[in-house]
Amino acid sequence: MMEPASRKRRASSPPPSGPVTLPPPGFVADREEAAARVERLLQYQFNNRSLLEEALTHQSFAGGAAGSYQRLEFVGDAALGLAFSNFLYLTNPTVGPGALSTLRAANISTEKLARAAVRHDLYPLLRRNCPRLDLLVGQFIQSVKQELEDDLGTTPYGGTVFKAPKVLADIVEAIAAAVYVDCNFDLEKLWKVTRFLFEPIVTAETIDEQPVSTLHELCQKHGKDIKFKTWQKGGTAVVNVFVGGALVGMGSSEQMVIAKLNATRDALSKLLGGGNQQVLTTGVGHGLGVEVGDLRECKQKLIEQCSRKHWPKPIFKLEKEDGPAHDRTFVYSVQVESHGGIWVTLSDKMSRVKDAENSCAQKMLEHILKL
């Protein structure tokens, strides 16, 4: 196995300054050049380049799991988890297991790995045949560019509510696995070769620095309380942020801690963006500050909004029912699945089911209309 005798410490490659041009669906890049680009990026020469070819093949091109990166992605997910466990254990001798788990989750989350794939321009190297995938990845790349222009700065784990396409994280995990298998499952070697991909590494000092601490300081300055409401919907964690009783941010992720960070960033962008400053200064307004009309019409308006955007029909669900038979109260949730992620809001406590459905629909409309 060949590796440079002197490996210099390097910073992450800067993100592209202009639009990223993606090959058209089904386009097969020159495989020798694709492999060479990865080897130059990693400063590592593969003994078995077929592993790299496998890592750069999506199942839509291979016609199924066989021949695609899926087996390698399975190995890479576990190997990177163990590599980060070792690193965090050794570099944080006073940090407990719960905090270590949070740090590991932040460093290998889909959101963070997907951004690594964008920074290093890995998606164009992937053999694939899926136009919808190209569309989703293109939209995500634009959202990452917006993060870089944000005055709040870019947190290491990312932060938009736009859901990172899993394929981007899969590519990073598959390439890492290709290295791991190629070097005979040498975990230390894997870490040395791939660590730079994950920079900046989220640490105990930085994980809560932005945006959670920033939001707490901002609200404390204006005398506003903050509440986080969380749900698990299938395999997705969803978090809503309320400031002074008003819904101001939403976020989702496979990991609850990342969902909270994403929701907090969403709240900050809205509170500091000018359109919702009244929530901080006066507390007046309906959360995200958008007029959505009569409460009684909100459920139907939400259904119409989703239809216009070609999203699935919103899902309403009874979350809580309290009180005696003659004085029942209801709390409903509504779930909306957009092209960029899943959002969930809860209703206020209402005496009628219809009012509870309209209440959560109103809050969801406020969020959607502000996007």
Residue 363: give the domain boundaries.
Answer: 295-369
Q: What integer pLDDT is reported at residue 279 of this predicted model?
A: 56
Amino acid at 344: V
* Count of Cβ atoms closer than 10 Å to residue 210 Cβ: 19
161 — pLDDT class (breaks 50, 70, 90)? very low
Q: What integer pLDDT is reported at residue 1 of this predicted model?
A: 36
* Whether the predicted pLDDT of 125 surpasses 60: yes
Q: What integer pLDDT is reported at residue 39 of this predicted model?
A: 96
Tokens of 181: 């298998």
301-352 residue pLDDT tens? 899 888 888 889 999 988 888 888 888 899 888 888 876 667 788 888 888 8
Strand partners, 343: 336
196-250 residue pLDDT tens? 999 988 888 777 555 676 787 778 777 788 888 887 766 778 888 888 777 788 8
* Residues 218, 272 within the same domain: yes
- Last residue of a domain, which of 246, 281, 316? 281
* Residues 172, 101 within the same domain: yes
Least confident of 11-20, 250-259, 267-276, 359-368: 11-20
Domain with 107 in it: what CATH number? 1.10.1520.10
Q: What integer pLDDT is reported at residue 29 of this predicted model?
A: 64
**Average pLDDT of span 281-287:** 43
Q: What integer pLDDT is reported at residue 140 of this predicted model?
A: 84
* Residues 61, 117 within the same domain: yes
* Residues 39, 186 within the same domain: yes
Strand partners, 98: none
60-71 residue pLDDT tens? 887 777 789 999
Domain with 221 in it: what CATH number? 3.30.160.20
Q: What integer pLDDT is reported at residue 148 of this predicted model?
A: 61
* Residues 272, 307 within the same domain: no
Q: What integer pLDDT is reported at residue 56 of this predicted model?
A: 95
166-210 residue pLDDT tens? 999 999 999 999 999 999 999 999 999 999 999 988 888 777 555
Average pLDDT in the chain: 79
